[in-house]
Chains A and B, each alone.
Chain A
């Protein structure tokens, strides 16, 4: 079995240093009752123990359905929300405990691109002011050639006309606005860019342009991406490694090849079997897994394995023992399932 996939298993980033190490990240949002004296009656377990590392120049894709905690994870990594437990280390430095100037210095190194290009740009600021804002907030990084020239360079870099520096966001299309957001993210020369569904709001044709731009920028500047999306084919296109999230936990984590050609977790298999196929002759040639029911309430997740309520493989052990995210038997990727088993039948014959 291990011999059947020899070259593909080799990880090109194996010897690269980690830029971001995430360990046991937890964020629970309290549910309160009462108007004056609020008491806590429960908690939405948005992110509940997520661990991974991101290596230099690598793209880690995070997929999962709506409400599984992907965007909360992005906010935790940006320190837009404070986690309840766990650690995030940037090049060995603890990102979660730094304050003041140290925090400002580290913030420059981790930037974010938002989902909705229509709300992520201040409608009252010109493009030049939007992209110049990072330099205003971090005067130490003021470019030598002058802020305005640097902004023009950045516009050029993301494929926009530098002459449009005085225009306002509403004068641009969705794809162009997303490029403006990318230029803002690049301004301070970050090491890590967290892309929170950066193409979900765009047309398919524009999606490709923006993803190619992200790809080119990665090659040029050696950026590491955390690419959050719910579209499996988008994630496949851009990611080196993929993590599959379900109800605030990682269900499976492995290289793009491992996940897409030999998914081991039943949830991943179900997701992949639902990807629409462009080739009609291939339809029916694969096993389709249709999940029953809705995701459980994240305020009251099932005991043991969180996926067991919708899993066709679930047995007694799934209800009592929570599966760890580990490498199991012959399976090279990490999977959080007691019954993990690679299943290529959900993948179309080729593609």
Chain B
């Protein structure tokens, strides 16, 4: 039968079952709710496994309470899900262990991460917690870029790095906190030394 002779059948488009997009509801620690598509969730290994383990249907998603993510606040989670929605369906990069690791920040990510460093810090923690490899890569790249052309003194300010003296003081303080008698013994020793005693005991 040729193509011309084939019977024409009117198709009612409304009758065709359209595959529904599956959405999940998540709740941040400050009780803000987000709806995220299934495809976007695949960017996060942690969430993907969680959702798979729960085995929710679309009815369950509506009827049951939203999945709580207690470690992340609403502002950060919004950024994370924005990123996931934009990059949904993209392949998750595999780390080949090369040094230096070459990562390019796409335009969207650069705009998304045009935030203050406090929020960027939280975003990195969130990406690490949710195991979103590419988001972690680009956010770390932004942190790495902050060091470009800086002297050690400038780097100390940018990354809040303590100097050797500060490290030493912190270590001593920690030791004293662990053994409160240590300082007393040291003072006693100093005093006896001042008095001219040869032996401590």
Chain A complexes with chain B? no
